[in-house]
Structure 1
C-alpha cells in the first residue's frame, strides 16, 4: 500500500477534490482516481462515494480513515525522529495553530526561524481550540499556538503576546464615527461570531458577559475573513483581532473601534504536552517563538 495514496485518500475524505489532491501529490487526476480504486480493492470496501460533484467518505471510509490517520502520523513521527538523529538542523517541526494566526503571527515566526535554520521543515495544521488540544494529546503536534491557557493538567502553556481585539462595525453604523466605545453600547445588536469551539468565540462571549450582556447571535462562521465580510454587509457587529488603523475599502467598509469598558484583548501563547521530551528542533523553535514575541515590538504591524 502506497503511503502517498493514503495521504491523498485522507485529503479527499477531509473535503479536498480529487483534482486538488492529485495536484498536491504530483499526479494526474485519472492516475489518482485509479490509485484510490486500487486502495478500495485492497481494503475490500467502497471508501468514497460521490455526493453531487464531490466525493465523501462512506461509513467504511470513515472507519478506515481513523486507521489511515494513525498510520500516517506514526510514519511521519518515525521519519522525523530518524531525521533529527541524523541531522538536528534538518528536522521537522510539527506546529498547530489557530486559524486567525495563520495570516500574520505564524508566517513571521516560521520565516524568522528558517533564516537561521534553512533546512528545517514544518508540518502546519490549523484548527479551533479543542482541536489544538487534541493534537497535543494525540502527539500529532509538538507545539500549538493558541489563545489563552487551555487549562489542561497534561499541557503547559506560556504567553507569547497580548493581541488587541476591536469592535468591528459597518461604516454606516451609528457608532462608526467614534474611535472608542463601550462594548455595552452594542448590547442587543446581532453579533457575527465564530462557531462554538473556536477561541475567539469564547473570548467574545466572556467579554460580553463582563460588559453585562450575552451576545445576540446573528450569524456564525468558521473564519475571521467571513466575520469581516458579514460585518461589512451590515449584518451585525463583531469582535475581531485586527489593527485599528485598517482602512475601510469598498470590499470591507468597516470601522474598528477601541473597547473601553472591558479588556479588549486576548492572550496568545505556546502550549506543549507536559512531560514529553520535545525533539531538539521543536524545542529550538519554541525558544525562538518566545524570543521573537518578547517586548513591545512583537505586536501586530
Structure 2
C-alpha cells in the first residue's frame, strides 16, 4: 500500500468526481482510477460506488475514510516532527484562510496581540484558489485551522466528528458595480439582458456557489469580461468600471459608504448569504491549538453581529 493511494481516496471523498480528483492529484484519470482500485484490492472491500453519479463512498468507504484521513495527517505530522525549529521559543499556529477572511476577519477577531496565547506566532497561509486545495491543507495536517465561508450550495464532505467547526458569523455577498454603471446594469438585469460580469472562475468557493445560484435564475444573463479567484482583485476591477461583481459586504463596506461601489439590485434572491466558519482537525491536540480555539469560541458570540 502506498501513501498516495490514501491521499487519492481522501481527495475523491471530497470531490466525488474521478475527473476532478485526478486533476487535483496531477495524474490522468485512468491512472487515478487504477490507484483507487489498487487501494480497494489492498483493503479487501469496495470503497467507492461507481454506478451513482456523482460517485459516492460505500459503507466500507465511509468507515475507511476516517482512518485514511488520520493516517495521511499522522504521516505529515511525523515528517514535521523531525525538523523542529532549533532555537525558536515560539509555537507556530497555522491558519489556512480564504484571502478575504485573512484581510477582514482575522484582525477583527484577534484585535490586539494580547489576545493571542503567549509565545505564539500566528502564520496565515494564502488562499490556493480551489476548494479542494484549501481543504486538503487541513485534512493532511498542513494547517492547524481552516477559516472559510460555507454555504449549502458548496457542501464540504468533512466528518464533523473529525473536523469540528465554530460558526463565526454570517455575511452577505452583494452584486455591485461602479456608480456610473449602476443604472445601466440594473436595467439590463431587470430585462434579462446580458451584463459584463467579473467572475471567480469555476473552482473557487464563490465561483461554485454563484454558478449554482445563477442556475436558479434563468433570467440573469452575463458575459465574463474578467476572471480572478480573489475578491480583492474583482473589487478593483469593479471600482474601475469593468462590470458587476458579487463581493463580500465586509470587504466593501467602506466602498459602499463612500459611494465608490453601488448595489445593483435589491432582489434578495440575487444576494448570496454565507456563513463564516473556523474548522480544526480533532486530532491536532497541541495545547496552543486548544488555546487559539478557545479565543475564537469565546469571541464568536461577541463579534459575529458586527461581521454579519
Q: TM-score range by the shorter chain?
A: 0.5 to 0.7
How many pairs does the alignment contain?
Answer: 222
- Is 1:209 aligned to residue 215 of structure 2? yes
| Corresponding residue of 2:70 | none
Query: Where in structure 1 are there 5+ consecutive unaligned residues?
Result: 1-69
Structure 2 counterpart of 1:160: 168
Deviation at 1:226, TM superposition (A): 1.6
Give per-residue Cα distances to partners, 1:141-163, cap 9 Å, x unaligned.
Answer: 01100111522346443422111
TM-aligned CA deviation for residue 183 of structure 1: 7.2
1:124 aligns with 2:129: no
Separation (CA, whole Å) in 2 of partners of 1:260 and 1:169: 17
Q: Is the 8 A contact 1:195 1:220 kept in 2?
A: yes
How far apart are 1:245 and its partner, in Å?
5.0
| Mapping 1:80-159, distance limit 5 Å | 90-112=90-112, 114-127=114-127, 128=129, 129-148=131-150, 150-153=156-159, 155-159=163-167
Aligned partner (choices 228, 233, 241) of residue 235 of structure 2: 228
Q: CA deviation at 1:232?
A: 2.2
SS in 2 for 1:106: helix
For the Cα contact (< 8 Å) 1:171–1:254, is it kept in 2? Answer: yes
Contact 1:132 1:146 in 2 (8 A): no
The structure with the largest helix share of the pair is 2
Q: CA deviation at 1:125?
A: 0.4
Matches within 5 A, 1:38-117: 74-75=79-80, 79=84, 90-112=90-112, 114-117=114-117
Output aligned runs, 1:169-184, within 5 Å. Answer: 169-175=177-183
Q: Distance in 1 between matches of 2:296 and 2:306?
A: 13
> Structure 2 regions of 5+ residues with no counterpart?
1-74
Instruction: Map 1:258-277 to 2 at 5 A.
Output: 258-274=266-282, 276-277=283-284
Matches within 5 A, 1:192-203: 192-203=198-209
Indicate the residue corresponding to 1:39 in structure 2.
Answer: none
1:72 to partner: Cα distance:
11
SS of aligned partner of 1:117: coil
Q: Please report how far the alpha carbon of residue 214 of structure 1 lies from its aligned counterpart in structure 2 after TM superposition.
A: 6.5
Q: 1:263 to 1:116 in 2, by over 3 A?
A: same
Give 1:91 shift.
Answer: 2.6
Task: Report the Cα offset of residue 246 of structure 1.
Answer: 2.7
Instruction: From 269, 278, 284, give the equivalent of 2:285.
Output: 278
Moved more, 214-223 or 131-140: 214-223
Q: Distance in 2 between matches of 1:270 and 1:262?
A: 26
Q: What whole-Å deviation, never above 9, does each CA across 1:200-239 have from its counterpart, x for those lacking one?
A: 2122223222333475422101322221122223222010
Query: How far off is 1:197 after superposition?
Result: 2.3
Q: Deviations over 1:166-186 (max 9, x none)?
A: 1111211243898xx997777
> Which residue does 2:297 correspond to in 1?
290
Cα distance 1:156–1:188, how it changes in 2: closer, same or farther (>3 A)? farther
Tell me the CA shift for residue 133 of structure 1.
0.7
2-structure distance, mates of 1:215, 1:76: 50
Assess, with a 3 A threshold, how the Cα gap between structure 1 residues 123 and 286 changes in structure 2: closer, same or farther: same
Q: CA deviation at 1:266?
A: 1.2
How far apart are the structure 1 equivalents of 2:239 and 2:118?
40
* 1:294 partner SS: helix
Judged with a 3 Å threshold, the aligned counterparts in structure 2 of structure 1 residues 222 and 147 are, in CA distance, closer, same or farther, namely same
Q: Is the 8 A contact 1:205 1:214 kept in 2?
A: no
**Alignment RMSD:** 3.8
| Equivalent residue number for residue 41 of structure 2 | none
TM-score normalised according to structure 1 size = 0.60
